[in-house]
Chains A and B, each alone.
Chain A
Amino acid sequence: MNGVARFVKMVTFWELLKGMAITSRFLAKPKVTELYPDVRPVLPYRTKGRLHVEIGTCISCRMCEKACPEGCIKVFQPSKEVFKTDKRPVEFYLSQEHCLHCGLCVDACPTGSIHHSQEFEMAVYNPDDLLFDKETLPYDLDLKHFRWNWIENAPVKK
């Protein structure tokens, strides 16, 4: 009996038909692909996208600069006189070109001023456009699509 069944399976290409059945079952199933450029995906809040710096809360402690493995952050502290009252950096350079998106600067920041945003479209025609300074760094976040992840993640010490 067993031998007959095996013979029938062999002649009818049973296991190949089984494979065909699995494949053809997917014809009726819904699509799993995303229509990205038309429909923008909503990313989870922990997504490590482009770095975003809140210059207003930055105290120019340079912890992010020391933590960065690729040296893409450079912070310039204000002079000692100014630093007593206003701790915001004089200049903040960020080279997104070399950023690994590792999140070590976010870990190091004591005030939660630097964090990843959900911005992921970072393609530019010129690499120099990825070099940000204090004026170009904070950009308008469209809050419909992005949520800042530091609200939930970075411990904000006061």
Chain B
Amino acid sequence: MTAEQQAEKVSPLREIMETREVELNLGPQHPATHGVYRALVKLDGERVLGMESIIGYLHRGIEKWAEYRNWTQATPIFDRLDYVGAVLNCHGYVGAVEKLLGVEVPKKAQYIRVVLDELQRIASHLVWLGTHGLDIGAQSVLFYAIREREAIMDLFEAMLGQRLLPNAYPIGGVRFDFPKGWVEVCRRLLDVLPQRIDEYEGLLTGNRIWRQRTIGVGVISAKDAIALSLSGPTLRGSGVNFDVRKAIPYSSYEDFDFEIPLGQNGDVFDRYLCRVREMRQSLRIIRQALDGMPEGELRGKVSKIIRPPAGEAYFTIEAAKGQLGFYIVSDGGDKPYRVHVKSPSFVNLQGIETMCKGNLIADVVAVIGSLDIVLGEVDR
């Protein structure tokens, strides 16, 4: 066979096997996207060249909904933003209204809020840990993480009456004190949880499969992370020391002694370590808050019909996902004029393109998991 004949034979194949960019559609219904999130990934072989996020499948118009209810009635809807960290959302909104009203929350109520917030943060991180492990292939972590979360949910049920969306705080304080025996159960949980976190770390941190899947994957530098307004463990994984609890203390967080875990490389593994260490710090905070629980009132002086002065307020808290901000505008009436939620998941999801560029397609799943997005919060 001559060379020409050979070329003729090969050429049709070459046309078929021509190398070109492939656009792959990931989602919106995909088990690894943690909800209805769709990504258009541009691929060269297995390398990611570019990525476009398409969101909005879960948009419920919460901000518009709130404008049609009065200040008190709007509280329960914000639980539905980040539905695995509902207490924190409620704290954000209620805190914003209190700031605008100028209400001083009693010290005891602030401490109770700190306890519940930190429990919720642990619960949210446990869900993240389980699902993130599941995404990468470590299945057993999910069962253990959910089991511990269940204990926290039981505490919520005894304290607030609901497990997932408890409508935790009224404007001005908290509804109830801890029920009888609650603190003892909570302390027992605090004793158990460090060992359980050791177990998760025993399953994951040293595991060579886990390390190979996460170290050096989805890297974002500190400079990029700040420029993209990332927040929470996603930002701290890159080594930026910004935690709202320390930077802009609210609800008596300045009374507690805790550290902010920081990463160095800004990869998936660092973000994982940050969150796991954050759980331990949360346990420290809860213990301090329970030990130093002051006596006093549960609710500040708030009238039944709330009419904040005309103006605007911006209140941020450190939610499980990052900096959760509420920008509320009042016109002096009994309804919110405008409520805007700065949701950490929404802003953090912006960073995904920078993180995924140059990585393999399989790492996209790891990066989505490491961002800890909740689509209810992204789409609002």
- The yes or no verdict on A and B being binding partners is yes
A107 & B161 in contact (Cβ 8 Å cutoff):
no
Q: Does A116 interact with chain B (Cβ within 8 Å)?
A: yes
Query: For window 73-127 of chain A, which residues contact chain B by CB distance below 8 Å?
Result: 100-104, 107, 116
Complex partner residue of B75 from A13, A23, A44, A102, CB under 8 angstroms: A102
Smallest CB separation, B305 vs chain A (Å): 10
Residues of B close to A68: CB separation below 8 A: 73
Residues of A close to B206: CB separation below 8 A: 15, 18
A101 to B77, CA, bound (A): 11
Complex partner residue of A22 from B160, B166, B203, CB under 8 angstroms: B203
Q: Known contacts A15-B207, A23-B140, A43-B157: does B162 contact A101 (CB below 8 Å)?
A: yes
Complex partner residue of A19 from B157, B161, B203, CB under 8 angstroms: B203
B167 & A103 in contact (Cβ 8 Å cutoff):
yes
Q: Does B202 interact with chain A (Cβ within 8 Å)?
A: yes
Q: Does A48 interact with chain B (Cβ within 8 Å)?
A: yes
Kindly supply a per-residue 1/0 record for chain B positions 179-218, scoring 1 wherever the CB is within 8 Å of any chain A CB and 0 otherwise: 1000000000000000000010011101111000000000
Q: Known contacts A16-B207, A116-B161: does B72 contact A46 (CB below 8 Å)?
A: no
Smallest CB separation, A32 vs chain B (Å): 5
Q: Known contacts A23-B140, A43-B157, A103-B167: does B76 contact A18 (CB below 8 Å)?
A: no
Kindly supply a per-residue 1/0 record for chain A positions 42-67, scoring 1 wherever the CB is within 8 Å of any chain B CB and 0 otherwise: 01111110000000000000000001
Nearest residue, chain A, Cβ from B198: A22
Q: Does A138 interact with chain B (Cβ within 8 Å)?
A: no
B179 & A69 in contact (Cβ 8 Å cutoff):
no
Residues of B close to A46: CB separation below 8 A: 157-161, 176, 179
Nearest residue, chain B, Cβ from A19: B203
Smallest CB separation, B142 vs chain A (Å): 12
A147 to B77, CA, bound (A): 28
A104 to B90, CA, bound (A): 14
Complex partner residue of A102 from B140, B167, B176, CB under 8 angstroms: B167
Residues of A close to B202: CB separation below 8 A: 18-19, 22
**What interface size band does chain B fall in?**
20 to 34
Nearest residue, chain B, Cβ from A34: B150
Q: Does A153 interact with chain B (Cβ within 8 Å)?
A: yes
Q: Known contacts A69-B73, A102-B75, A102-B76: does B167 contact A22 (CB below 8 Å)?
A: no
A100 to B162, CA, bound (A): 11
Q: Known contacts A15-B206, A107-B170: does B157 contact A44 (CB below 8 Å)?
A: yes
Kindly supply a per-residue 1/0 record for chain B positions 97-138, scoring 1 wherever the CB is within 8 Å of any chain A CB and 0 otherwise: 000000000000000000000000000000000000000000
Residues of A close to B77: CB separation below 8 A: 69
Residues of B close to A45: CB separation below 8 A: 179
Chain A interface (Cβ < 8 Å from any Cβ of B) = 13, 15-16, 18-19, 22-23, 32, 43-48, 67-69, 100-104, 107, 116, 149, 153
Q: List 27 A-B contacts (CB under 8 A).
A: A13-B208, A16-B209, A19-B202, A19-B204, A22-B199, A23-B203, A32-B147, A32-B150, A44-B161, A44-B179, A46-B158, A46-B159, A46-B161, A47-B157, A48-B161, A48-B162, A67-B72, A67-B73, A69-B74, A100-B167, A101-B165, A101-B167, A103-B167, A104-B72, A104-B167, A107-B170, A149-B161
- Contacts A22-B203, A102-B76, A102-B167 aside, 14 further interface pairs with beta carbons under 8 A come to A15-B206, A16-B208, A16-B209, A18-B202, A19-B140, A22-B202, A43-B157, A44-B179, A46-B157, A46-B176, A47-B157, A47-B162, A48-B162, A67-B72
